[in-house]
Structure formats: structure tokens, C-alpha cells
Amino acid sequence: MKTQAPPTHEGQTVTVRRAADRGSAEHGWLHARFTFSFAEYFDPDHMGFKSLRVMNNDTIEPGGGFPTHPHRDMEIFTYVIEGELAHTDSMGNGAVIKAGDLQYMSAGAGVQHSEFNPSDQNRTHLYQIWLHPRTPGGEPRYAEKPLRELGPPGSLTLLFSGDGRNDSTEIRQDAKIYFGHAADGDTLKAPASDAMPHAWLQVISGEVAILGETLETGDGVAIEYHPGEIAIEARADSKFLLFRLN
């Protein structure tokens, strides 16, 4: 169900996407939840938000995974919440992404990769997120972000941006992606951005309040036109991803 907060800027809407309302798929080895239409799940009301196209929340059983497959013209981010994810690609990268780490792959003109849960006992729980690039093509790129090393709660860290500012990793989209970690009672403030007046917040864990809405684990919210500062109040120890979009 959609809920909207009263506009505080001309043209602003705040639309919540509850975890329980997401699409789903069950494949034995894979338990998937889809914020936006993906694969066999189609909902014309949920086709993405601005350049944000995919927000999949997957649980992979021990030994399960995706064999080698192609991608192109997509910015792909994988955040491992629990367990590990073994990755190989046609760029020559091979890595095991551990819980608390985030992987970035720009598919560019074309790349192939595989992703597996290397454990024979533990599940892997992750988010895979796709953004459309500003232009197609280009050489594929790869990077990793060890988010578990970002420090104690109370921080909002810029991970990715279109220009690589403030030690962030440059991506092929005019967007900013922040990782937030807040203790109960903390308020984190995302900077104002006239160039990127829209935002999406995805709660990884915990509970937060934003623009009059309360969000829990797995919930997301689309914020249409809010160029000013955005305050996020934690009501439990919380982790989230915040996307500033144009």
C-alpha cells in the first residue's frame, strides 16, 4: 500500500514501499523479494524510481547461486548483510564479499559474472541494486567497499558519486549513494542537493523516521523533489542506504 506525507516543498511526494508489499520469488535455493518489477514479477506501479531500477533483497541457500551470465549498460551494487558471496567476472576479478561489504560493478559495454554462496552451512542474505548509467557503453569497472570498517554508529558516509567527490567511488550516473549507521536516538542529515532533488531510502535493518514516515527493516521510501537537507532519525540501531537522484 502506498502512503504519502503532506508536501513540504512544491511538487514533493513521499511514497513508502513496505517490505511486506514487495514482489517475491521462491526457487528452492533462492528466496527473493523485489521492490521493483523484475524477472517474472511485474507491477506497472513499481518499475523503478528515477535512475534506480532494481532493489532486490535475496537470500541464497548454502551452495546456491547464479552461474555465469551477462550484463551491460547497468551500474550494479551488491551489499552482503549476512554470510558471504563468491564473485568471479570476465574482467579477471575473483573475490569473496563478506557480510558488511558492498561490491560495485559497472557493466559498461558488456561483462559476464557469476555469484555463489560458498558456504555449505550458512545462508547468504544480500541486496542487489541496479542504476541505469547516464550513457551506455564504456569499459566495465569493479570496486569494493568494506562498510564494516566505517566506524561506530552516528555516521552518514558518501560511498559513490558521479564525480568521485570526498573520496567516494566514481560511478556512471549523476547520483550520490550514502551508507548510514545510526544508534537509537541519533539523527543523521543528508546534505541538500539542488542537482539531485529526489531521493530513495532503503532500510537494511532497524527503524527510522523520515519526513513524517516510520520505516522498518526492508521498507523503502521514494522522495519526489526534496532538494533540501534530509533528516533521518533512528528509533533503534539502524543501517540504511540513501540515494540522491536527479
User: In the prediction, which pLDDT does 186 show?
Assistant: 97
User: In the prediction, which pLDDT does 2 show?
Assistant: 44
Can you give the pTM of this predicted structure? 0.94
Taking only the tens place, the pLDDT of each residue in 220-241 is 999 999 999 999 999 999 999 9
Q: Which residues of 110-141 are buried (b: 16+ CB within 10 A; e: fewer)?
A: ebebebbbebeeeebbbbbbbbbbeeeeeebb
Number of domains in the chain: 1
User: In the prediction, which pLDDT does 227 show?
Assistant: 97
Q: Say whether 94 sits in a helix, a strand or coil.
A: strand
Whether residue 6 lies inside any domain: the answer is no
Taking only the tens place, the pLDDT of each residue in 23-42 is 999 999 999 999 999 999 99
User: In the prediction, which pLDDT does 10 show?
Assistant: 56
The CATH number of residue 126's host domain is 2.60.120.10
Taking only the tens place, the pLDDT of each residue in 92-122 is 999 999 999 999 999 999 999 999 999 999 9
User: In the prediction, which pLDDT does 243 show?
Assistant: 98
Whether residue 141 lies inside any domain: the answer is yes
User: In the prediction, which pLDDT does 150 show?
Assistant: 78
CA separation for the pair 15, 32 (Å, rounded): 22
Taking only the tens place, the pLDDT of each residue in 61-74 is 999 999 999 999 99
Whether residue 199 lies inside any domain: the answer is yes
Whether residue 150 lies inside any domain: the answer is yes
User: In the prediction, which pLDDT does 5 show?
Assistant: 45
Least confident of 4-8, 166-170, 193-197: 4-8
| Higher-pLDDT residue of 83, 4 | 83
Kindly state the DSSP code that residue 21 receives in the 8-state scheme.
Answer: G
Query: What is the arithmetic mean of pLDDT over 168-172?
Result: 97
Q: Which three cell numbers stand for residue 17?
A: 514501499
CA separation for the pair 73, 69 (Å, rounded): 14
Range of the domain at 24: 13-245
- 28 Cβ contact partners less than 8 Å away, ≥ 6 residues apart: 61, 64
User: In the prediction, which pLDDT does 155 show?
Assistant: 87
Whether residue 191 lies inside any domain: the answer is yes
User: In the prediction, which pLDDT does 7 show?
Assistant: 42
Whether residue 2 lies inside any domain: the answer is no
Task: Count the residues in the chain.
Answer: 246
Q: Do 233 and 186 form a contact (C-beta atoms < 8 A)?
A: yes
Taking only the tens place, the pLDDT of each residue in 172-222 is 999 999 999 999 999 999 999 999 999 999 999 999 999 999 999 999 999
Whether residue 1 lies inside any domain: the answer is no
Whether residue 198 lies inside any domain: the answer is yes
CA separation for the pair 61, 39 (Å, rounded): 20
Kindly state the DSSP code that residue 174 receives in the 8-state scheme.
Answer: S
Kindly state the DSSP code that residue 42 receives in the 8-state scheme.
Answer: -
| Higher-pLDDT residue of 6, 123 | 123
